[in-house]
Structure 1
Amino acid sequence: MDWGKGILLTIIAFVGFIMTLVVISVRQDDIHLVTENYYEKEIKYQDQIDRESASANLDREVLQFDAQSKSILLDLPVGAKGSLQLFRPSDARLDREFELEITDLGTTSVSLGQLKSGYWKVQLTWTEDGVEFYQEKKINL
């Protein structure tokens, strides 16, 4: 075999390898974005910063995780309304959202026993006395 045939076979093998990678990446359907409306949320990000700074000024820890009972404990006052989002970065199909309306005094508990074990982001957004708040906690189940 001479040099010309060797170079030609190398180029053909390289093109075949690249085409294989292209086909694999095109067929991959398990790609999850962080959020569906990414650009809209990015424009409203200053509101998010204001919510986070308001919750940092609170004198209590609103969002707590109890690893023993696999539950989220919420210290919210009566009349507070909001949403609790459970965000799974590795698989958006496992994401959950709960609407909250606090009607009882004391700590509210949200059980996480039915969720798949692994890394989760818990995002709590709520309104208390007309002021919006936001807290986030990263947990491992």
Structure 2
Amino acid sequence: MKINWGTAIVIAFIGFIGFIMYFVVNMATNDKYDHDLVVEDYYQQELKFQNDIDKEKNSKTLKTNVSWQKTQDGILITFPEDLDIKDIKGKVFLYRPSNKQLDFETPISLSNHNLLIPDNRLLDGRWNITIDWTYDNNSYLFKEAINY
């Protein structure tokens, strides 16, 4: 059987379309390629972005900003020493980019100027830490990508 050039073009198109369809179906059905958004309500978070910028600007006006360090027991978050700990309210959110099941949020509850995030809640690797807190009706925000 002899194949002319018209038949060869049709076979090439069918082969190419089959090749593309294989990858489309494979990417749509395979859980290995499941990519989620960073947050579920992405567009609502985007509208609050200017508020976050203002909070970060407020943080830069402090004498000392919030700091963190890795210890044997976990992550030790230190709040400014010149502030009264009874008036510090807020939350600490740790986001794991590689697995959203590991994300967690902790309310700020201080007995001294330090807050400890226990080691048993953290795995080695990259985390994004966000500390959203208020003091004297002023809102502050600390964001940083850390490697634990």
Query: Structure 2-normalised TM-score?
Result: 0.82
Over residues 82-125 of structure 1, what are the superposed CA-to-partner deviations in whole Å (9 max), with x where a residue is unaligned? 111111122222211111122x1232222244322221100000
* 1:7 corresponding residue in structure 2: 9
Output the aligned Cα RMSD: 2.0
Alpha carbons 2:74, 2:116 under 8 Å: kept: no
Match of 1:48 among 46, 52, 59: 52
* 2:67 corresponding residue in structure 1: 63
Structure 2 unpaired stretches of 5+: none
Give matches, 1:106-117, under 5 Å: 106-117=113-124
Number of aligned residue pairs: give it.
140
Structure 2 letter corresponding to 1:20: Y
Structure 1 unpaired stretches of 5+: none
Measured in 2, the distance between the counterparts of 1:41 and 1:69 equals: 33
Structure 1 residues 137, 109: CA separation in 2 closer, same or farther (over 3 Å shift)?
Answer: same
Over residues 50-105 of structure 1, what are the superposed CA-to-partner deviations in whole Å (9 max), with x where a residue is unaligned? 10000111111313132665413232541211111111122222211111122x12
Bigger radius of gyration, 1 or 2? 2
Structure 1 letter corresponding to 2:9: I
Measured in 1, the distance between the counterparts of 2:94 and 2:118 equals: 12
**What is the deviation of 1:42?**
1.5
Over residues 29-50 of structure 1, what are the superposed CA-to-partner deviations in whole Å (9 max), with x where a residue is unaligned? 5221111111112112221111
* 2:101 corresponding residue in structure 1: 93
Alpha carbons 1:63, 1:137 under 8 Å: kept: no
Structure 2 letter corresponding to 1:17: F
Q: Percent identity?
A: 32
Structure 1 letter corresponding to 2:94: L
List 4+ stretches of structure 1 deviating above 6 A. Answer: none
Measured in 2, the distance between the counterparts of 1:72 and 1:6 equals: 68
Measured in 1, the distance between the counterparts of 2:134 and 2:78 equals: 13
Measured in 2, the distance between the counterparts of 1:67 and 1:28 equals: 39
